[in-house]
Amino acid sequence: MVHRNPVDNSVAISFTLDSEGAVKFAKVTRENVGQLLGIVLDGELTSAPRINGEIPSGSGEITGNFTIEEGIELANVLENPLETPVKILEERRVDPSLGADSVRSGIVACIISAVLVSLFMLCYYMFAGLVANIAMILNLVILLGVMCLIGSTLTIPGIAGIVLTVGMAVDANVLIYERIREELAKGKSLRSAVSSGYDRAFGVIFDGNITTLFAGIIMIIMGTGPVRGFGVTLSIGIATSMYTALVVTRLVFDYALRGGKQKLGMLKVIGETNFDFMGWATKAFVISAVVIIAGFGYTFYRGSDALGVDFKGGDSLMLSFEQKIPLEKLRATVQPLPGENRVGYQVPLSGGRETLSVVVPEGQGEDVEKLLTETYPEAKFTRLSLDRIGASVGSEITVGAIKALLLAMLVILFYVALRYEFSFAVGSVVALLHDILMAIAVFVMTGRQFNAPIIAALLTIIGFSINDTIVIFDRVREDIKMGVSGTFREIFNRAINQTLARTIITSVTVLLAVAALYIFGGSVINDFAFVFAVGVIVGTWSSLFISSSVVLWISKGRKPKLGNSDVAVAVDPTIYQEPKTER
């Protein structure tokens, strides 16, 4: 029944369930007070009212600021003319103690990552590193403030996003500082070098961050709960890090210059190099191809075992215990049950309590828990969490993951083509595809299973890898516009060598943050940290060898005309006549 409340002019829809529906609805509302209840018809979300309390009688009321017509439409949906039975498609239960431990581990990982990155920047860049650290701390404060302002919930993937923001936030500072170092080497004064460093670095910082932001927005739009939470944190972190790196640090430098600072000391572990990266491109392609083929071959060998419950559906049960039961006995106990079963102990790298993980077909989690508890009473098993994912939800996550990855690469292809040149865009996308395939191959070969957070990791790899590639492409474009002599191949080699210090330092800082996440972040985000660490390494590899060689191969060694450059087209005869050497 639909009626309007004369007091506040709101519309209310009253409903009553039958006895069977009332029992199910009472359970759902009792266990999810404060959560949103999705009302779905024909696969589309019609409404999502908040559960204010348990509804034990089966009779309730939905109120809101909608019209009578909208209320009637919602009432028709609630009448459920197809009489489709109520079914829980996705359910996650977490013991408060496990949630507290996970949050504590995430906070510890965040603090340790900030300390490691801060120490590295301070030791390597000295005063400039101190400025970067001030910006990083301010970035974290602003990030948390914005999340509070918009009412964003801080989840475990969200904490992972903060940790990665710590590592990636210094990327812009490293780029600026390396530019300042180059300007100082030309004999410029510190004031002039700082000004030129910021001006020259702005474009590439903007391009690199905007492409990473694309990945974050796609996570928010297309991701599920954990992935969406990570995307929110990452997107906010990108925006705040750009502000602190380009505005706050510049203000600090201006203040120091007005105070009479005339010198800027920096370490230089990586000096000037002249390595023929393009000459090693073919070998790099072969190595990558071997790893990818081996990884995907092993994936087909493992079959459905490579997929976690997020993708194929099922129950994932985590139990604590007081006495450890031999794994062989546990597996023998669970093995007779129908369907595919997976049992194993998990030990956090940072220490803490060992837990038992059991993965069984959908709906069998509670039965398995009861079976193990009754069979091994001496173990004193206690449930820490139970994740139940329906097969249909797993299928939706799989399709959504593929769409998200393809959309991210398509958007980046368009943006890089718009900002640079089409061959550059193709080279960057080939490198991104290479990074995703490499990360998946290595991940699978370690015996791990795919879950929803891995999609967030792959999308973040895309953002990180394109950032590295854009730095090199930007230097190539700059050299071409300035009329630097040499063939296209020589310009690429020169650009990679010129930006090599920045590439390695950025990868090191991000790996420090990811290492803290991997070791201290707890089992909940261990897989995420692992695959992203692999992504950082392969992303650096592809930036140095893959993306540039693809551009050379597509262009057949011809130097493109970029922007308003009047530089004549030069051809590398070797590349033009024998393009296969650049593959």
- The pLDDT tens digits of the residues spanning 103-154 come to 677 677 778 888 888 899 999 999 999 999 998 889 888 888 888 887 766 6
pLDDT band at 442 (very low <50, low <70, confident <90, very high): very high
Average pLDDT of the residues in 199-220: 83
Outline which parts of the chain fall under CATH 3.30.1360.200: 2-86
Please say if the pLDDT value at position 229 is more than 80.
Answer: no
Average pLDDT of the residues in 237-259: 88
Looking up tokens 């990811």 gives: 514
Architecture of domain 2-86: 2-Layer Sandwich (3.30)
- pLDDT of 287: 93
What is the average pLDDT value for the chain, to the nearest integer? 78
Average pLDDT of the residues in 275-297: 91
- pLDDT of 87: 55
- The pLDDT tens digits of the residues spanning 326-361 come to 888 888 888 777 766 777 777 665 556 778 888 777
d(C-alpha 276, C-alpha 71), whole Å: 69
Average pLDDT of the residues in 432-451: 87
- pLDDT of 481: 84
For every residue of 467-533, DSSP letters joined together read HHHHHHHHHHHHHHHTT--S-HHHHHHHHHHHTHHHHHHHHHHHHHHHHHHHHHS-GGGHHHHHHHH
pLDDT band at 582 (very low <50, low <70, confident <90, very high): very low
pLDDT band at 572 (very low <50, low <70, confident <90, very high): very low
- pLDDT of 66: 64
Outline which parts of the chain fall under CATH 3.30.70.3220: 314-389
Please say if the pLDDT value at position 191 is more than 70.
Answer: yes
Q: Lowest mean pLDDT: which of 34-38, 170-174, 261-265, 443-447?
A: 34-38
pTM of the model: 0.70
Output the CATH code of domain 314-389.
3.30.70.3220
- pLDDT of 368: 83
pLDDT band at 74 (very low <50, low <70, confident <90, very high): low
- pLDDT of 387: 74
For every residue of 212-271, DSSP letters joined together read HHHHHHHHHHH--HHHHHHHHHHHHHHHHHHHIIIIIHHHHHHHHHHTT--------SS-
More confident residue, 314 or 536: 536
| Sequence-distant (≥ 6) Cβ neighbours of residue 306 within 8 angstroms | 299, 444, 449, 450
- The pLDDT tens digits of the residues spanning 551-561 come to 988 888 777 76
Q: Lowest mean pLDDT: which of 62-66, 122-126, 230-234, 284-288?
A: 62-66
